[in-house]
Amino acid sequence: MRMISPEWKWAAALAPAGETEYIVVHHAAAEGPAEAVHAAHLARGWSGIGYHFYVRLDGTVYSGRPLGTIGAHTAGYNSRSVGVCFEGNFEVRAMPTEQLAAGRELVAYLRGLYPKAKIVRHRDLDATACPGKNFPFEAMTGGALYRVQAGAFTDRARAERYAERLRAAGFADAYVVG
């Protein structure tokens, strides 16, 4: 996992969090860098980026709020959760293979840090569609995967088209390997 740790400038001091009970996954419902999320959250009057991690479409992971501090991502749960946001709008798109791989690695890392924490979607705790109907939650959290082996096709583009057809048919966790 490629991790980038920016030197964020916080608008206010960050408060310490309580025991981590949840790892909450979100989608940004937009595309853009972590710096844009930080700026948008500052514009809302927050201390800065509200997520603890932000995973780009290319699989790059950015650290946001430090672990052990209260986030700003799920009302009523921020003091006892870690927030992980994925770039993109998973109501309308599928997750790229690189982003899924990085997300799986990050979730596994967080499971190691917080073995008692429950991994949930934002919509499991709040009235929202987040992280979107196409978010590969089962694949992200270790559930069933639908792998399309690129070598079984004449070229990678054909494998990607086949995986897209699987996703359109309801196999949201289909992705290409190899």
Domains in the chain, CATH or no CATH each: 2-143 (3.40.80.10), 144-178 (no CATH)
List per-residue pLDDT tens for the chain, 178 residues long. 789 999 999 999 999 999 999 999 999 999 999 999 999 999 999 999 999 999 999 999 999 999 999 999 999 999 999 999 999 999 999 999 999 999 999 998 999 999 899 999 999 999 999 999 999 998 888 754 456 767 778 888 888 888 788 766 655 556 665 5
pLDDT (0 to 100) of residue 175: 61
Q: Are 32 and 62 in contact (CB under 8 A)?
A: no
Spatial strand order in the sheet of 2-4:
2-4, 60-63, 53-55, 81-86, 22-27, 118-121
Separation of alpha carbons 65 and 54, rounded Å: 10
What is the rounded CA–CA span in Å between residue 147 and residue 42? 40
Half-sphere exposure of 18 (CA within 13 A, CB side): 7
What local confidence, expressed as pLDDT, does residue 144 receive? 45
End-to-end CA distance of the chain: 18
What the block records as the tokens of 177 is 């390997």
Per-residue CA distances from 97 to 7, 77, 90, 141, 175 (Å): 28, 30, 14, 15, 6
